[in-house]
Structure 1
Amino acid sequence: MACNLVSVFLQQAMQSNYPAPSGPTITPFPNFDASADATALNNALQAKDVDEETIINILTTRTNWQRQQIAADYQQSVGKQLKDVMKSKLSGKLETVVLDLLQTPAQFDAHQLYYAMKGLGTDEDCLIEILVSRSNKEIKEIIKAYKEEFKSDLEDKIKSDTSKDFQKALITLLKASRDESCEVDHDLADDDARALYEAGEKRKGTDVDTFINILSSRNAAHMRTVFERYTKYSKHEVDKALDLELSGDIENVLISLVKCIGNKPAYFAEKLYNSMKGRGTQDKILIRIMISRSEVDLKDIKVAYKAKYGTTLYKAIKDETKGDYETILLALCGRDE
C-alpha cells in the first residue's frame, strides 16, 4: 500500500498536475499598526466576556513577524506578556492555537519536537514530518531555538530517544546540508539511481546508509530525475524498493523524504486527510500543519487536497471541528476554494 501511495506522489510531481505555487494563506496585513492591534487585543481580553472574535481576526490576518511586533508593543504598554494573558483568559483548543501562533516558526517547531520526545514514548511521525520538510535555514533556526527554549541540545535529545538507522537518518537531516539549488547533474543522477538499486534490490540486505545519504543531500529537481532513472535499472520504482526492503520507522522516514521531494503540498495534504479521517481528529497534527504551512504553501496544499480527495480542505475542517477552534482553523485555511 505504501509504495502505491508514493507512486502517486511521484507521478503527480513529474506530470506537473498542479498549477504553479501560489503560496501562503496569510500575507502581511496592509497599513499594519502594532500599537493599535495591541490595544484592540487588550480590550478584547479585558472585556467582561472575552472577545474571541477580535482575537481570532487579528492573529489570523497578521504574519508571524507582525504578531511578534504586536506582542512586543503589548508588553511595553500593558506590562505583561501577551501569551501569559492569553493563557489566563482562553481555554481548550482555541488557547492552544493562539499560543502557538504567538511563537516564532522556529520556536513553534522546537516546541513540537520537544513534546514529541517528552516523557514515555516518542511521536516519531512528528520528528519525521518536521525534519524531512524544513529547509536548511529553518532546521538551523530550530536547533538554535531548541537550545534557547529548553537549555539542551536537540541532537543529543534525538540520540537519546531514537536508535539504529532511524536515529542515523534523523541526525543526518539535522545536519541541514541538503543541496538547495535547482541544478540537475544527469550523469550523477544516473550514478545515484544505480547506487540506490545496488544498495537495495541488487544485494542481500539493505545498505541503508546509501539511501539516507542520497535522499538527504541532493536537491529536489535532481532527485526527481534519479527516481525516473531508477526504473532503468529495476523493474520497480524506488518507492516499491523501499517498501520491499525496509520496515518500521526507517521506512517511514525515507518514504516521507521521497514524498516531500516528489510533491511537498501533496505530502501535507495526505497528512491533513489522515488527521481527520475516521472517528476523532488528530488535533496535534491538524494544528501543526495549519500553523506551520500558513505562511509557506497552504494554498498549494489546498489545491493538492482537493485534487486528491475530491473535497476542499475548508469543508473537511468544517465537518471535523466546532466553535472557536473551527473558526480559527478556517481563518488560517482561507477561502473555501
Structure 2
Amino acid sequence: FFFCCVHVKYSVSCEPKYPTVVPAADFDPDRDAARIETAIKTKGVDEQTIIDVLTKRTYAQRREIAFAYERRAKKDMITALKGALSGSLEAVILGLMKSTSQYDASEIRGSIKGLGTDEETLIEILCSRSNEELVDIKKVYKELFKTDLQKDVKGDTSGNFAKLLLALVETKRAEPSAIVDYEKIDEDARALYDAGVKIKGTDVATWISIMSERSVPHLQKVFQRYKSYSPYDMQESIVKEVKGDLQKSFLVLAQCFENKQLFFAKRLNEAMKSKGAKEKIVTRIIVSRCEVDLKKIGCEYKTNFGQSLQKTVLEHTKGDYQKVLLSLCGPEE
C-alpha cells in the first residue's frame, strides 16, 4: 500500500495547532493491529472497535498500525478496511488513513476529475489552506497523480476564477512579519478600493495580486483600513463587484483571513442543517481539520451557534457515521 512521507519544515509562520486528535499515550501498534484484525474478522464486523482505535490515533500512528497489520495478517489494512466497511463510515476511515495533505490532494483531484468540476470543494480547499499547507499539497499531488496541480487547475477552470486559483497555487504569499508597515497597509487598502467600488467594473487583477501575495496579518489590517475608503466592508464589496465562482472564492479568502475557524464552523453548520445533510462537506472538514484546528473550530461553533458541534452532530447524523464524527470531534469542552 502507498503512504508518502511529507517532511514539514516548521517555521515561525506555522499557524498554531488546535487538534482534537493527538498522539495516543500508551501506543502499541501491534496491539492495535491485532484489535483491528479481530474487528474486521468478526461476523458482521465490529465497527465500534475500528472507530475507537483509528479516531484516537494520529496519522503517523495509524501508519504504524497499518505496517504492523500487514506484518501480522499478510495483507494490506486499507484494502481490508475497504472490504469491511461501507458508506459514510468507510469514507471517514479511509480519509483518516491519508495524511492531511494527501487527503486534501485527493479531494482536489476528485473535484477536478469527476464528472463536471466540483467548484465548491476546489474553492474551499485552495482558498482556506495556509501557504505551508498548499506547498505540501502541491508536492503530494505530484507524487500521487504524476502531474502538477497547476496544470489540472488550469485545465479545469477558466477566466478570472482560474487566475485567482492559480495565483493561490503559486504560493507567493508573504510570510508574516514582526514589522507592521502602515504605509503599505494604506496603499493596499486604497488599491483595493480604487480597483473595485470606486470605478465602473472591477480591476480583478489588482484584487488577485493583493489577496494572493500579502501575509494574512497584513491583509487583516488592510481590510480594517479599507473601511475608511469604502462605504462597504471588503465582503460587501466582493458581493457588489464580482459574481459566480470568483465571488465565492474571494469571499472564502476574506472570511479565512478574518477568522478561518469561524469560516469552517459556518460551513459545518450549513452542511448539517441543510436538507439532506451534505455529508461530503461535513466529512471533509472534520477529517481534514482534526489534526489541525478542529478544537478551535468547535469553540467558534459554540460561540456562534449557541450549542456545541457535538450536539449538532448528534441531532443531524446517525449510526456509525455519527459515532465516528463524535469521536473525531473529541469531548465537549
TM-score by length of 2: 0.92
Residue 22 (structure 1) shift? 7.5
For residue 42 of structure 2, the aligned residue among 47, 58, 83 is 47
For residue 101 of structure 1, the aligned residue among 81, 96, 103 is 96
1:322 matched to 2:327? The reply is no
Name the counterpart of 1:9. none
For residue 212 of structure 1, the aligned residue among 200, 208, 212 is 208
Distance 2:291 2:177 in 1: 22
Quick one: which amino acid aligns to residue 34 of structure 2?
T
Name the counterpart of 1:5. none
Distance 1:280 1:240 in 2: 29
Name the counterpart of 1:242. 238
1:91 matched to 2:86? The reply is yes
Q: Work out whether residues 17 and 292 of structure 2, in 8 Å CA contact, stay in contact via their aligned partners in 1.
A: no
Give the stretch that moved more between structures: 280-289 or 152-161: 152-161
Moved over 4 A (4+): none
Q: Work out whether residues 58 and 291 of structure 2, in 8 Å CA contact, stay in contact via their aligned partners in 1.
A: yes
Q: How does 1:11-90 map to 2 (within 5 A)?
A: 23-90=18-85
Distance 1:151 1:319 in 2: 42
RMSD over aligned CA atoms reads 1.4
Per-residue Cα deviation, 1:11-65 (whole angstroms, up to 9, x for no partner): xxxxxxxxxx771111111021112211111111112231111110011110111
Name the counterpart of 2:303. 307
Per-residue Cα deviation, 1:198-238 (whole angstroms, up to 9, x for no partner): 11112221111111111111122111111111122122212
1:125 matched to 2:120? The reply is yes
Distance 2:129 2:74 in 1: 35
Name the counterpart of 2:252. 256
Residue 131 (structure 1) shift? 1.0
Q: Work out whether residues 176 and 218 of structure 2, in 8 Å CA contact, stay in contact via their aligned partners in 1.
A: no
Q: Work out whether residues 52 and 324 of structure 1, in 8 Å CA contact, stay in contact via their aligned partners in 2.
A: yes
For residue 194 of structure 1, the aligned residue among 187, 190, 194 is 190
1:136 matched to 2:131? The reply is yes
Residue 182 (structure 1) shift? 4.5
Residue 162 (structure 1) shift? 0.4
Q: Unaligned regions of 5+ residues in structure 2, if any?
A: 1-15
SS of aligned partner of 2:261: helix
Distance 2:172 2:73 in 1: 43
Distance 1:223 1:144 in 2: 26
Residue 167 (structure 1) shift? 0.3
Distance 1:270 1:182 in 2: 29
Q: How does 1:288-299 map to 2 (within 5 A)?
A: 288-299=284-295
Q: How does 1:259-270 map to 2 (within 5 A)?
A: 259-270=255-266
Name the counterpart of 1:163. 158
SS of aligned partner of 2:75: coil
Give the stretch that moved more between structures: 127-136 or 175-184: 175-184
Q: Work out whether residues 266 and 305 of structure 1, in 8 Å CA contact, stay in contact via their aligned partners in 2.
A: yes
Give the stretch that moved more between structures: 324-333 or 211-220: 211-220
Give the stretch that moved more between structures: 133-142 or 221-230: 133-142
Distance 1:207 1:257 in 2: 17
Quick one: which amino acid aligns to residue 260 of structure 2?
K
For residue 115 of structure 1, the aligned residue among 110, 118, 121 is 110
TM-score by length of 1: 0.91
Quick one: which amino acid aligns to residue 254 of structure 1?
F
Q: Work out whether residues 182 and 220 of structure 1, in 8 Å CA contact, stay in contact via their aligned partners in 2.
A: no
Distance 1:335 1:141 in 2: 30
Per-residue Cα deviation, 1:107-142 (whole angstroms, up to 9, x for no partner): 111110111112332111111111122122221221
